[in-house]
Amino acid sequence: MVIDLDRSGKIPLYRQISTHISGLIARELLLPGQRLPPSRELAGSLGVSRNTVVLAYDELEAAGLLTSRVGRGTSVCDRLPPGIASVSRPAAEPFPLEGLFGSRWTKPFPPLLALQEQVSAGREERESVNLASAAPDSSLFPLEEFRDSLVRALRCYGGDLLTCGSARGFAPLLAEIARMLARRNIICSSENLMIVNGSQQALSLLARLFVDPGDTVIMENLTYPGALQVFRSLQANCVGIPLDEEGLRVDILESVLRRSRAKLVYTIPAFQNPTGVNLSPERRRRLVELCRRHEAVIVEDDYARDLRFEGAASPPLKAWDRAQGIVYLGGFSETLFPGIRLSYILAPVRIIQRLLLLKETSDLYTNRILQGALLEFCRRGHLARHIKRKRAVHRRRSEAMARALRAHLPPAVAWRRPAGGVYQWLDLPASVDALDLLMKTRQRGVFFAPDRLFAVEAWERGGLRLDFGEVAEDKIVRGVEVISAAIQETIEAGGG
C-alpha cells in the first residue's frame, strides 16, 4: 500500500492513513473480507512508527470498517456500514430534485464571486498584475495589532464572547460605532444600529425587507455588483441612473422618480464603485430632498468615506436625514481587511426592528469574538492609525497610476484621478470593448474589471475599473503600460 503522506505535521499521520484506507474501501479497491498488511509491515513501508498504524487501524475498527481477530490479523469487515456502500454503488434512479426548487430559480441570477474569479483567473502567478481587486494586498493587513486585539478581547470578555449573542450585535461595539458616527456628524443611539456579516448581508436584509418581485430599485449605472446581485435575485426592477464627474445625475433621477414608483435608491456617494467619483455637496442635498419628496428610501453605502487621500470628507447623506428615511451602511472591510466580515446598519428604529427579525431568521446573530476584537482594535487607536497609513499608501499608488496614465494612455481615453478610495475609472472610446481588451491584457498577465460587471442597464460607453489600492507602484506602472498598449492596438486595428 502506497500512501502519499504529508509530513508537515498539519494532519496527524495516523489520520492520513485511516482516511486513505477508508477511501479505498469506499471505492471498492479494498473489498469486504480482504486482509490488510500487518501494522509492523505497513509502518515499515511508510516510514512511520508502528503505533501510528495501530492508531489508524483502531480508528477504522471503531468506525465499523475493519475487524481484527487474534491470529488472523486485520481485514475489511464483511458487513460494511450503510454510508460506505452509497458512494461505491450509486442508485439507479437519482433523486428528481429539479421540480422541487422554488420559483425564483426559474430566473437564474449570475454568481458574483465566481464572475470575479473568472475575470482574474490566473492571478496566482507572481508576475501577473491584478488591478481587478480580487486579491487584497495582505502586506497592508495589521496582522500583529489584530492578533493582539483578539487575545485582549478574549482575556477581557472571556466566555462572554463565546456565548449566545443578540441579533443586534455586541453592545460595547455598538456604543463604539455610535461614537465613531458622532464624529461624522451623525448623532444616534444603539437603538438605531445593528451589526451584520459585511455589507452584503446588510443589502440582503434590506432587499428582503422592502422588495417584492417587480418593485423598482434605483441605482447608479454603473454600481457595486453585490448590490445588483441581491436586488436581481429578488426579481427587483433595477433602474440605473448615469453618473458624471460630480456623481449621480440628480436631474435624471428626478425625472425617473416622477414617472415610476421607486421603493429604494441605492447609492455610493463617496468614491463610488466603480467610477471613483465623489458626489458633490450640492447634489447630496438635492438627492436627500428629492427622495424625501418622492418617498423613496435612500440606502447610502458609505464603504470608502474614510479613504479620502487628504482633507475632510463630505458629510454623509444621512447627516441631512431629518425625515428619518435614510439607511446608512458602514463597515470595516475596506478600512481594516475584508476577512473581518463586520459591517453595520444605521437606520430608523422602524426599519431596524424588522431587520433584526430578518437577521435572526437568517443566522441568529453575528459572532461576538470578532466583534470583541474589533472593539479592542478601535479602542487602542489601531484603527485610526491603520486608516491613516492606508490613506497615505493609496494616495501614493493613485499618484503613480495617474503618472503612468498620463504617460501612456492614448488621448481617446478619458479619466480623472479620484480624491480617495481605491478605484480609478477609464472611459474607453466606442471602438474599444472592455471585455475584448481584457482578453488581450490577460495574455500579458494584466487583469482589470470590465464595465459589464457593474452595468445595471445597457452602458453606452465602454469603460474599465482599475484598483490601485491593492497593488505595488511598480506593478501599477507595468499594468497601465500593458493596458495602454492594448487600447492603442485596438484603436489602430479599428481604424485600419
| Interface with a second copy in residues 426-455 (CB under 8 A) | none
Of residues 289-318, those binding a second copy (CB under 8 A):
292, 295, 297, 315-316, 318
Cα dihedral: 250, 251, 254, 259 (round 10): -130
How far, in Å, CA of 26 to CA of 1, rounded?
16
Please identify which residue in the block is written with the cell numbers 454503488. 89
First to last CA, the chain: 65
Smallest distance, a second copy to C-beta of residue 245, A: 24
Helix, strand, coil shares of the chain as percentages rounded to 5? Answer: 50, 15, 40
Amino acid at 131: L
Q: Which is nearer to a second copy, 148 or 427 (CB)?
A: 148
Q: Is 321 in the site for a second copy (CB under 8 A)?
A: yes
Q: Work out the number of other CB atoms within 10 angstroms of the CB of residue 6.
A: 9
Identify residue 285 by its one-letter amino acid code. R
Pick one of 53, 55, 150, 409: the residue that binds a second copy (CB under 8 A). Answer: 150
Q: Which of 69, 100, 124, 127 binds a second copy (CB under 8 A)?
A: 100
If binding is defined by CB under 8 A, does position 118 make contact with a second copy? no
Considering the rule CB under 8 A, would residue 136 count as an interface residue with a second copy?
Answer: yes
Q: Does 356 bind a second copy (CB under 8 A)?
A: yes
In the complex, what is the shortest distance from the CB of residue 201 to a second copy, in angstroms, rounded to a whole number? 4
DSSP 273: T
Site residues for a second copy, window 248-267 (CB under 8 A)? 263
- Cβ 185 to a second copy, closest distance in Å? 3
Q: Determine the interface stretch with a second copy among 10-18, 240-248, 388-396, 442-450 (rule: CB under 8 A).
A: 10-18
CA angle 347–349–351, rounded 5-degree value: 65
Query: Binding to a second copy by residue 167, rule CB under 8 A?
Result: yes
Binding footprint of a second copy, residue count (CB under 8 A): 125
* One-character DSSP codes across 122-170: TTTSTT-EE-SSSS--GGGS-HHHHHHHHHHHHHHHGGGGTS---TT--
The radius of gyration of the chain from alpha carbons, rounded to an integer in Å, stands at: 28
Binding part of the chain for a second copy, among 42-50, 302-310, 355-363, 454-462 by CB under 8 A, reads 355-363
Nearest to 238 by CA among 250, 226, 251: 226
For a second copy, the binding residues in 335-354 under the rule CB under 8 A are 337-341, 348, 350-351, 354
The residues in 179-218 that bind a second copy, with binding defined as CB under 8 A, are 179, 182-188, 196-198, 200-201, 204, 208-212, 215
Distance CA 1, CA 323 (A): 74
Q: Which of residues 27-56 bind a second copy (CB under 8 A)?
A: none
Write each residue from 54 to 73 as x if it is in contact with a second copy (CB under 8 A), else as -, in one continuous string: -----x--xxx---------
Asked if 122 touches a second copy (CB under 8 A), the answer is no
Exactly one of 323, 392, 435, 439 binds a second copy (CB under 8 A); that residue is 323
CB of 451 to a second copy, least distance (A): 21
User: Cell numbers 477504522 correspond to what residue?
Assistant: 60
Least distance in angstroms from the C-beta of 194 to a second copy: 13
User: Do 350 and 325 contact (CB within 8 A), yes or no?
Assistant: no
Number of Cβ atoms within 10 Å of the Cβ of 226: 18
Closest CA to 119 of 491, 462, 486, 437: 437
82 binds a second copy (CB under 8 A): yes
- What is the C-alpha to C-alpha distance for residues 363 and 367, in angstroms, rounded to an integer? 10
Among 361, 406, 457, 474, binds a second copy (CB under 8 A): 361
Residue 191's nearest CA partner among 164, 160, 169, 161 is: 169
- Kindly tell me which of 201 and 275 has the beta carbon lying closer to a second copy: 201
Which residue of 33, 35, 105, 255 would you call a contact of a second copy, by CB under 8 A? 105
Round to whole Å and give the CA distance between 464 and 350.
Answer: 39
Whole-number minimum distance, CB 142 to a second copy, in Å?
Answer: 9
